[in-house]
Structure 1
């Protein structure tokens, strides 16, 4: 072969081969990957992963405060309430939850008539729970429907019960007729719910507020004020009567005490005067003339004053002593 037609890279390739032969390292060309050998492994891994995902997706947990309702083609096939981990049938069953704890429901305000033809607005609330989830689902369908039926029964029973009471009996907490009203309403509502198999139970029904319609409020307030003023006036009258009775009894007792004291004082005074007279008699009987002189001088103290004028005969014994003539 002519040197001019020789491949220019031939010498370079030969030199590279000679270099690797000396080092006993000959480069090997890579072979293409054979996917046919690994296709079974890939399929097996994919199936295992899919089964794992399906199993995880169909596991459900039941908590202590809930019911788990298992449906198959829309029909309830099982209800679980024991806490734990369970599994449903894939693609055929679905699981929903219902509360197992007590719930509070605010009943809508309602206007009713009392026994004395007063219109009042009643606001109640109820504490309730689900006792039979299957009956509740079958007859009510949903929680909202169950609450709606319960509200209808509460309104009907409250209207009947309060319609037998006067307005004053309803608003007066001291009146015993209202004491068992909540219990009667609760008992009657449960009877209605049980008769229709709604699967729910009312724990308690309580009255939060009683108001008057705006058009009747002022007139009732005015009547209540008038009644309270009448009661206050009655108390004042009774107080005045009691006051007069007490004062009369006290005055009578004081008069009796004063009369007794005066009587005792008169007796003591009489005894003292008697004793004094006795002493005077004993004393003056020793010298009668001196006693007569003493009595005359004592009389001067009472009869003669600063501007006293006495006209007496000159020979009067009373005048002789004044003039100093004692013989």
Structure 2
């Protein structure tokens, strides 16, 4: 090999080393996609991972994620169809489905998040403003299927068992049943989320973005609406408490009346039994007196007179007599005057 050949080989090696030093190779990582541009024009799009080749200096490589990305929106204070303001916090998932269009319309991820902010926030405001607060908060009408007794008492059997008044208890449940009646919904929170995504999906597709879903992460009442809701809840609970007090007062009066009737019945029965016993005792006493009288009439009259003296004379300070029949045994033990 002569000097000329060596010189050529060295020159070629230097050119190759210089070419490689300028960076003609690039790597597409797993989960990435690449848009290669030359003088601002798209040359090629690579979506498969591996080692790729480009023209150094004049070609630029723009790397974008192929994976699903998350978008978190700012909380918005939005009026509902009833013109009641609520705070709505939403989130979404998206990905770059057309990297060529994405580069042409947006170019950067920062620009993509700005577009998503405008489009999704606008869709959220439009959907919330067209629907009632119940549609935004609830997902079903299951709450209207809750039993009144389960909502307020829990163990109705214990109350009914103690009082034995199922009709009165049912009447109380009717008085407070209003508390578990809620407006029925036709769409619900999940369907509103689907509407938000449907409204925004076509708009973001123009930028090479595929919107996977939009989810209402949190809804809370504004301060003025919160106070109104609390006041309504307090008013309803006060009505329920008043219904319980009224029910208790009525049951109390009913039980006291029942107690008084039972007391009168017991006393009347006892009085009748006592009168009967007294009559029997008087009859028995009369019978004994008659038997004693018939056995010794004079002694019976003498004994009756002594019993009478024993009851009346101690109460007399002075006794003046004109030969009364009552005191005949005081004049003579035989009762002769």
Q: TM-score, normalised by structure 2?
A: 0.61
Residue 28 (structure 1) aligns with: none
Aligned positions of 1:130-149 closer than 5 A = 130=95, 132-134=97-99, 135-149=101-115
Residue 157 of structure 1 deviates from its aligned partner by 3.1
Number of the residue aligned with 2:123: 157
Q: Distance in 2 between matches of 1:252 and 1:319?
A: 58
Preserved contact between residue 135 and residue 187 of structure 2 (Cα < 8 Å): no
Distance 1:62 1:153 in 2: 30
Q: Distance in 2 between matches of 1:324 and 1:94?
A: 159
Aligned residues: 282
* Aligned residue in 2 for 1:98: 64
**1:136·1:200 contact (CA, 8 Å) conserved in 2?**
no
1:203 aligns with 2:213: yes
**TM-superposition CA deviations, 1:88-112 (whole Å, max 9, x none):** 3333654333234443333245444
Distance across 2 between alignment mates of 1:270 and 1:234: 53
Q: Distance in 2 between matches of 1:311 and 1:157?
A: 121
Which structure has the bigger radius of gyration?
1
> Structure 1 residues 52, 298: CA separation in 2 closer, same or farther (over 3 Å shift)?
farther
1:78 correspondence with 2:45 = yes
Distance in 2 (CA, whole Å) between partners of 1:305 and 1:45 is: 162
Asked if the contact 1:123–1:210 (Cα under 8 Å) also holds between the matched residues in 2, the reply is yes
3-state SS, counterpart of residue 291 of structure 2: coil
The CA deviation at 1:247 is 1.1
Give the drift of 1:238: 1.7
Matched, 1:264 2:269: yes
CA distance in structure 1 between the aligned counterparts of 2:199 and 2:267, rounded to whole angstroms? 85
Contact 2:87 2:219 in 1 (8 A): yes
Shift of 1:234: 2.2
Pick the aligned partner of 2:250 from 245, 253, 256. 245
RCO comparison, higher one (Cα < 8 Å, 6+): 2
Cα shift readout 1:2-56 (whole Å, capped 9, x = no counterpart): xxxxxxxxxxxxxxxxxxxxxxxxxxxxxxxx987964564465456456657x7
Measure, in 2, the Cα distance between the counterparts of 1:305 and 1:157: 115
2:37–2:43 Cα contact (<8 Å) kept: yes
Query: What residue ranges of structure 2 are gaps of 5+ in the alignment?
Result: 144-181
Which has the higher mean CA deviation after the structures are superposed, 164-173 or 125-134?
164-173
Query: Structure 1 unaligned runs (5+)?
Result: 1-33
The Cα of 1:224 is off from its aligned counterpart by 5.3
CA distance in 1, matches of 2:103, 2:265: 94
Task: Kindly indicate whether the alpha-carbon contact (under 8 Å) linking 1:170 and 1:178 is maintained by their aligned counterparts in 2.
Answer: no
Q: Give the whole-Å Cα distance in 2 for the aligned partners of 1:147 and 1:110.
A: 17
| Offset from partner CA, 1:199-236 (integer Å, 9 cap, x none) | 22142332545464xxxx56x67655654553344234
Secondary structure of residue in 2 paired with 1:147: helix
Secondary structure, counterpart of 1:183 in structure 2: helix
* Larger deviation, residues 252-261 vs 44-53: 44-53
